[in-house]
Amino acid sequence: MNRRPFAQVLAFPWLAVLALALADCSAARPVDNTDYNLPGQGAPTQGKMLGDQGLVFGNQKGTNNNAGDSGGGALGVNAYLWRGALDTLSFMPLASADPFGGVIITDWYQPPASDGERFKATAYILGRQLRADGVRVSVFRQVQQNGQWVDAQVSPSTTADIENKVLARARELRSQSASNSSN
């Protein structure tokens, strides 16, 4: 019986996964961030999120997908809301993103104009339809007191404003997709 060493058996699958992950990272595009009404955020920043061809799903030009507003693909969530949430929260560092479960978690973000304050957000995409109640955003805020970060209240309007920005971006993406598929 011919046995290969354990390291040789594991080497190839991990190398393939790593190559695929790195290939998807190469197509990033700059995202134009607008004011998301976080206190002390200052001027909009330029960040990079998934590229135009990275993690693409939904009705593509030349496909015959009758999913309507669902955003298509094999995802359990609406692709337009997913991408809208990614674009909207792109000014914050991304900690985790699960496109199949519909959860985006950012890491702490400290606005340049606000020294003793930081924010973190979690976005939940709740279904396959592009609806106003299809996205929930939770924003967490901490302030620095005596060298310690302490939880602080977040204005409900901040959360509502971010949810509205996600919905507006999702509608814009759906509109762009519809105009591209009709050309």
Q: What is the Cβ-side half-sphere exposure of residue 30, based on CA atoms within 13 angstroms?
A: 6
What's residue 124's pLDDT?
97
Domain total of the chain: 1
**For the segment 29-73, what is each residue's pLDDT rounded down to a tens digit?**
444 444 444 444 444 433 434 444 344 444 444 343 434 454 445
Residue 77 placed within a domain? yes
- Give the domain range for residue 134: 6-182
Secondary structure (3-state) at 156 = helix
Phi-psi region of 71 (alpha: psi -120 to 50; beta: other; left: phi over 0): left
- Whether 1 maps to a domain, the answer reads no
Give residue-wise pLDDT tens across range 67-117: 445 444 556 799 999 999 999 999 999 999 999 899 999 999 999 998 899
**What are the structure tokens assigned to 105, written together?**
């978690």
Residue 14 lies in a domain: yes
| Residue environment code for 44-60, b if the CB has 16+ CB neighbours within 10 A, otherwise e | eeebebbeeeebebbbe
Residue showing tokens 């693409």: 56
In a domain, 158, yes or no: yes
| Percent of residues, the chain, with pLDDT higher than 70 | 58
Q: Percentage of the chain surpassing pLDDT 90? A: 51
Beta strands in 3-63 (DSSP E): 29-32, 46-49
> Does 167 score more than 60 pLDDT?
yes
In a domain, 109, yes or no: yes
Considering the domain boundaries, does residue 171 fall inside one? yes
